[in-house]
Structure formats: C-alpha cells, structure tokens
Amino acid sequence: MSIQTLRQDWLSNVRNDLLAGLVVALALIPEAIAFSIIAGVDPKVGLYASFSIATIIAFTGGRPGMISAATGAMALVMVVLVKEHGLQYLLAATVLTGVLQVIAGWVKLGVLMRFVSRSVVTGFVNALAILIFMAQLPELNPQTAGVTWHVYAMTAAGLAIIYGFPYLTKAVPSPLVTIVVLTAVSLALGLDIRTVGDMGELPDSLPVFLIPDIPLNWETLTIVFPYSLTLMVVGLLESLMTATIVDDLTDTKSDKNRECVGQGVANIATGFIGGMAGCAMIGQSVINVKSGGRGRLSTLTAGVVLLILVVFLGEWVKQIPMAALVAVMIMVSIGTFNWGSIRNLREHPASSSVVMVATVLVTVLTHDLAKACSPACCSQAFSSRTRSGRSCTCAPPRKTTAVPGATSSPARCSSRRPTVLPTRLISRK
C-alpha cells in the first residue's frame, strides 16, 4: 500500500471524518443496546462488539467510510443459539464466523457481487430505508410509556434542524447539532420522555480478553458451525451490499475481497473480548456519508468515541432523548430510499422492475437479507436467460441485391446488421 493511498484513506478529510464519526457513535449506542436485547444477551455484549468491529474494520476493511458494528440481521440469527446454549457458545460462533469470512475473502468470494444486478441493489436499498423507518415507529407509538406530544414536537424540531441548519452553515453536521440542541432542551425543560438510558444499562468498564468457556470437541462444532455458516453468509451479503451502496454514494470503488477478510478479522477479535458477531450497517454508513465522512478515520472515530461515551461519559449519554435519534434515523431513511426508482418503474424493462419490487417485498416481510437476495437473484437470472433467448432468434434471408465482393449467409440474426446494401442504394450508384 502506497503512502499516497494511506494519506487518501486517513488524512484527506480529517475534520469532516472526526465530526461524522462523533455523530455515528451517538447513533450507534441505542441500536447496539436494542440488538443485544434481540439476541437475548446483556447490552454490553452489543456495545463492546460495536466498538471492536468499528475500530478494527477501519484498518482491515476494503471500503473506507463504511460503518460496521453489531446489527439486527445478525442478532436475529443468534436468538436460538443463545436461548439453547448460552453466551459462551455465541462467542465461539462469533470467532468461527470470522474464520469462515477470512476464508471467503481468500478464495475471492467478493467477486460474486459482480453478478448482483442493479435492480437487486436498488430493491435492497429501498427495503432497508423502509425497515429503518419502521424501526422508529415504536418510539412514536402513543401506547408506549413515555411517548407524549412532547416526543412528536421534539422529533419535528429535530427534522427541522437537520434540514434547515445546512442553509446556515455546513461547518458542523446537522445531525450532531440536532442531538446536542434537543438534549439541552430536554434537560432545561425537564421533559419526561424516553432517553438512551431507558434502553438498557451502559457498561462501566473496558472490555477484557477472554476465551469462550466451551468444550473443544466435535459436538461443540456441530452445534456452533450451522449458526456460524449462516452468520457468515448474512454478514458478507449485507456488508458487500452496503459497500456497493457507499461506492455509489461516494463515486469511488472498494475492494470486496479485502472487505470479506476485514469483516472476518474484526469478528474473530470481537469474539475474544465478549462481543457478538456483526457486519456493515447501511443506516450508520449513510449517516456517516451524509455527515461528511469519507475516510477510514471516520470509522475509527466512531468506534473509539463509542467506547469513551459509554464507559466514561455514560451519565451524560443516558440523558440523550430518543426523539433526537429518531429524527436522525428518519432523515437516514428518507435519504436512503431511491425515489427515482418509483418514477422509473414504467420506463425500465418489466423484468427489472419485478426484481426490484420482489427484493423490497421479501426483505421487508422477512427482515432477512439472505432470504431476499436468493429469489431476487434467481428472478434476475431467469429474466436474463429469457432476454438472451429472445435476442438470438434468426430470421430467414430476405430478397436483396448482392454487392460485388460481399459474402452472404443463409440466415440473418436479428441482432446483427445485414452485410448487403438495400436495392435503392445500389441503383443510385
């Protein structure tokens, strides 16, 4: 790796990367806690995982500016394992997941993203935007404890700041301003609304190295391997899809095979400090890009600041109103959704539109990227086969006047131009 590449990845956008990383760190806290609850483990497991994965992937990943941490898609796979066998087996599965991802990178599985069509990627993006928005609805449900009209007012004020502040200045990311202002307002007025502290207990100590306390035998492998294989597939699918999206947002390229290895290294290390497996996060990556983050420094900042906030500044972080983070995530969902894809439904080929819509529906209904990509890619392959079958139909030769010196063929393929000139052009000569 050249010195120029290192400078481009780390030092080309220092100020914006630092500010964007701070915004992402604040947004990561409630999500990491929520994903831990989904997986059935202590909140510190998700928080330690988010710190570890984000910090390590900043050095080992193949997509600068992309955020990786504990995710909901991975947490859903862990539920049964944790329920039946406990946390120690989850840590072992996390390590094995990392090993499988490193192997996937070594055998160049990242090149498979070339076969994922634009329709699938667009459908995936739109589905994630919908899921991000749907995930905020519980915080706006009037039947939820602590949700009053103050929450709606704070959320609306947050959106106004997010979209209005850039007209005054772009020196500071508007999501960061939103979080600071709404927290100050909530504390000053003493509002009784849900805060980050209501999501779960924050850890008060640094993570330590540990080895999963499990028997090292064949039975353990048969228990852990199926979950690790699923986690590997889901993690790499989501990470490579997110890398493609960030590529489009920043108009740059990424190294997909290096990303596979990087995700694996991050998960191996995370399993040895008591964290759960994770992967790239589309929502946080979009927040990072929208806030000005472009380089690896933004990802490193997000991980380091996250740990500092929860361990050393936990009492202040607990006071952040959830309405502020809901406003940020609504902005992310609006910015993530490809609104042009709706306008282009009639203009694009029917097969392409069907694949896009199918991807959206399956992803939203199942909340599972692996299940969404399989039928979408199969539909795309079928439609491509159908188009290729139609494009090579040959027609019988038509009656023409031959040009001296030109060769003729017994049949004409509709996709090629004829090798003879029309009769009227020859007559003019």
- pLDDT value of position 358: 87
Given a contact cutoff of 8 angstroms between Cβ atoms, the answer to whether 242 and 280 are in contact is: yes
d(CA 167, CA 186): 25
For the chain, first and last CA: distance in Å?
A: 63
Name which of 232, 211, 221 is nearest 102 in CA terms: 232
Q: How confident is the model at residue 360 (pLDDT cuts 50, 70, 90)?
A: confident
Q: What is the pLDDT of residue 407?
A: 44
Q: Where are the alpha helices (DSSP H) in 165-255?
A: 174-189, 218-250
Q: Tell me the Cα Rg of the chain.
A: 26
The predicted structure's pLDDT at residue 369? 58
Question: pLDDT tens-digit profile of 27-66?
Answer: 899 888 888 877 888 889 999 999 999 999 999 999 999 9
Please check whether residue 246 is in contact with residue 254, taking contact to mean a CB–CB distance below 8 angstroms.
Answer: yes
Instruction: Return the bridge partners of 207, or none.
Output: none
Instruction: Tell me the CB-side half-sphere exposure of residue 396, using CA atoms within 13 A.
Output: 1
B/e letters for 165-200, b = 16+ CB within 10 Å, e = fewer, are beeeeeebbbbbbbbebbbebbeeeebebbbbbebb
Q: What is the pLDDT of residue 413?
A: 44
For residues 234-262, give the mean pLDDT: 91
C-alpha to C-alpha distance for 113 and 240, rounded to whole angstroms: 7
Q: Could you give the CA distance from residue 138 to residue 188 in angstroms, rounded to a whole number?
A: 25
pTM of the complete model: 0.77
- Concatenated DSSP letters of 116-130: S-HHHHHHHHHHHHH
The confidence score (pLDDT) of residue 416 equals: 43
| CA 213-219-220 angle, 5° bins | 30
Rounded to whole angstroms, the Cα distance separating 313 from 396 reads 79
Residue ranges in 61-117 assigned as alpha helix (H): 72-85, 87-106
Residue 68's H or E segment, with its range, is strand 68-69
For residues 206 and 279, give the distance between their C-alpha atoms in angstroms, rounded to a whole number. Answer: 22
Confidence class of residue 395 from pLDDT cuts 50, 70 and 90?
Answer: very low
Instruction: Give 209-234 pLDDT, tens digit per residue.
Output: 999 999 999 999 999 999 999 899 88
Query: What are the residue boundaries of the structural domains of the chain, listed by start?
Result: 9-130+200-317, 342-389
